[in-house]
Amino acid sequence: MFVATPLAAQNGEQKPVEASKGETARDAAGRTDEIAEAARLMTGPAARGECVWLGVRAVGLMWKDDLDTAFRHLELYDRFGCPAEHIQISFRCVVRQGDIDQKDQKSADAFNKRVRDCWLNPALAAAPAAPPSVAADKPGTK
C-alpha cells in the first residue's frame, strides 16, 4: 500500500526575505501613483494598470539592452491585450531623448522618469542637444 504523506523540506529553516528583494511601501505607493497618473492622462488600453506596469518596464529594459527580460515582459504585455504600438512609440521617444548616464541613483531616477514620461506622452519633444564643448586648442592660439 502506498500512503500519501507530506514531504518535508531538506532544510527546515525558513530564511527571511531579503530587504533588497522585498517590496517597500514607498515602491508600492510609487507604482500606484504611476498607474493612477497614466489613467488620468491617457485613454485606451495602454492606460490600464497592467499595461503601464509591464510596458514601462519593458521599454526601460530594452534601452538597457536586457532584451531577454524585456521579451518576457512583452509576452505578458501581449497576453494582457496591451497595444504593441504603444511600446514602439514609447521606445522611440526614449531613444530620441538621447543617452543618459546611469552610474548613480540620481541619474537612474532621471532615466526612470524619462521612460515614464515617454509612456505617458510618446510625442514628448526630444531633449535639446548639449552645446559642443569648447576645445582646449583653438586654431591660432597656444
β strands within the chain, DSSP E? none
- Residue 69, SS3 per DSSP: helix
Q: What does each C-alpha distance from 122 to 88, 108, 129 come to in angstroms?
A: 9, 20, 19
**CA pair distance 52, 34, nearest whole angstrom:** 8
For the chain, which residues score pLDDT lower than 70? Answer: 1-31, 101-102, 127-142
pLDDT of residue 58: 97
pLDDT of residue 131: 53
- DSSP class of residue 82 equals -
**Of residues 25, 82, 26, the one with CA closest to residue 53:** 82
**CA pair distance 75, 117, nearest whole angstrom:** 23
Query: How many CB atoms lie under 10 A from the CB of residue 64?
Result: 12
pLDDT of residue 26: 52
**CA pair distance 12, 109, nearest whole angstrom:** 40
Q: Please give the model's pTM, rounded to 2 decimal places.
A: 0.66
User: Taking the domains of the chain in order of start, what are their residue ranges?
Assistant: 28-120
